[in-house]
Amino acid sequence: MGQRHVVIAGGGAAGYFAAIACAEADPACAVTLYEATAHPLAKVKVSGGGRCNVTHACFEPRELVRHYPRGGRELLGAFSRWQPRDTVEWYEKRGVALKTEADGRMFPVTDDSQTIVDCLQSAAQKAGVRVLLRTGIEKVERVAPNALGSARSTFRITLTTGEVVHCDRLLLATGGNKSNAGFEIARQLGHAIEPPVPSLFTFHVKDPRLADLSGVSVGDATTAVRGTALKERGPLLVTHWGLSGPAVLKLSAWGARELHDCGYKFTLRVNWAPGGNAAALRAALENARAAHPKKQIGTWCPLGLPLRLWERLLAAAGIAPVTQWAVVPGAALRALAAQVGEGEFAVDGKSMFKEEFVTCGGVRLGEVDFKTMESRLVPGLHFAGEVLDVDGVTGGFNFQAAWTGGWLAGRAMAGRPAP
């Protein structure tokens, strides 16, 4: 049949991983990766604040898939073939050790994303992958199966440079940005595209309770969108523009479509001390009043909240911070408990989480075989990464989906699919 030609569209995490997996599985295979920009692996470079959150220390596939608002069911089998443990071993074999932080996120021990970028580029070069930058894919046409009777389609690809190339296998790993060419190519080849909308984002909130509190954080809070079933728990951070942190980012991921549909205008309910319900909070405040009657209420928070935030909640409940606990009436304590446990904030817009742009939406999952990442509609066409309607919450889960999909696609394109 001659030499197999494989084209990878997209020089991000999934594209690079697929190219390496393909070239390593079949050294005789000609693998070419096209990246439309001058900056391959750009999201790898900026992720995790420049440290690169490579994956998450969750090694049980059934537990792992619970972190994917979209794609979890399809990824279950994929993660049984390639999961975080495999990712860790892959990097360690290439001289990059990873470390696990307290929240489960895994980073290179160097705390430098360039370590990951260098590793991927070195592995690609060593495997013989040809990488062309500033070269995108403009058009893809299917051509008839070859004369030897292969059922596999081949592809005629027009590049943005005007050059025309042919390949036996094509991987679209062009990311989730709605303007990327991968969606249009997939659509032209017969695939349905779920409309892409932002998935990981922070909330715009203008509220006197949060004014000038940028940088104040609470280690454990719950957030909920009033009128929906959306609810999350985790660290919460006050920013210049509103609220962020895992309790907001996870909520934004699970509610990506609902929040998009309401124009990012909704009421957010916050429990700053989620150890108990409203009655338990009132009881804790009453116990504090009995135990420290002479103490000024603004100098000490029995619930462990930062004092600057505590003072704002006191003001919202109508309590002066110089008031002694003993003279705070029961009605005021109830109002304070409501501010702590059931505070409502008007959200009016969103901001993307740093440079880590993540979307939900993409190629419809039922049209893809997650054993090989191959199209069920177009033989020889594969997908990996955010071009699929797959997205995870913050914490390394999106990269893990990229490594897994890239590895499975790469092996399959080399003719050596994972068992």
Span 170-223, pLDDT tens digits:
999 999 887 789 999 999 999 999 999 999 999 999 999 999 999 999 999 999
405, 1, 297: which is closest to 418 by C-alpha?
Answer: 405
Q: Is 55 helix (H, G, I), strand (E, B) or coil?
A: strand
Q: Which residues pair with 107 in a beta bridge?
A: 99
Percent of the chain's residues with pLDDT above 70: 96
Span 131-143, pLDDT tens digits:
999 999 999 999 9
Residue 146, pLDDT > 60, answer no
Integer CA distances (angstroms), 263 to 198, 217, 260, 317, 391, in order: 12, 27, 5, 30, 20
C-alpha span between 385 and 43 (Å, rounded) = 12
Query: What is the model's pLDDT at position 178?
Result: 75
Query: What is the model's pLDDT at position 117?
Result: 98
C-alpha span between 63 and 79 (Å, rounded) = 11
The pLDDT-based confidence of 147 (bands split at 50, 70, 90) is very low
Largest CA distance in the chain: 92
The pLDDT-based confidence of 3 (bands split at 50, 70, 90) is confident
* Residue linked to tokens 């992958």: 129
Span 341-365, pLDDT tens digits:
999 999 999 987 655 568 899 999 9
Query: What is the model's pLDDT at position 353?
Result: 62
Task: State the distance between the two ends of the chain, measured CA to CA, in whole angstroms.
Answer: 24
Residue 152, pLDDT > 80, answer no
- What string of DSSP letters covers 277-295? -HHHHHHHHHHHHHH-TTS
Integer CA distances (angstroms), 374 to 18, 29, 364, in order: 12, 18, 12
> Hey, how many other C-beta atoms are within 10 angstroms of the C-beta on 417?
18
Query: What is the model's pLDDT at position 185?
Result: 97
Residue 145, pLDDT > 80, answer no
Residue type, 163: E
Query: What is the model's pLDDT at position 354?
Result: 57
Q: CB of 328 within 8 A of CB of 341?
A: no
Model-level pTM? 0.91
Hey, what domains does the chain have and what are their CATH numbers?
Answer: 5-197+357-413 (3.50.50.60), 201-352 (no CATH)
- What string of DSSP letters covers 197-220? EE-SEEEEE--TTTTT-TT-EEEE
Q: CB of 180 within 8 A of CB of 11?
A: no
Task: Tell me the angle at which helices 72-81 and 397-413 cross, rounded to the nearest 10 degrees.
Answer: 60
Percent of the chain's residues with pLDDT above 90: 91
Task: Show the tokens assigned to 174.
Answer: 């062009």
Q: CB of 139 within 8 A of CB of 162?
A: no
Span 286-341, pLDDT tens digits:
999 999 999 999 999 999 999 999 999 999 999 999 999 999 999 999 999 999 99
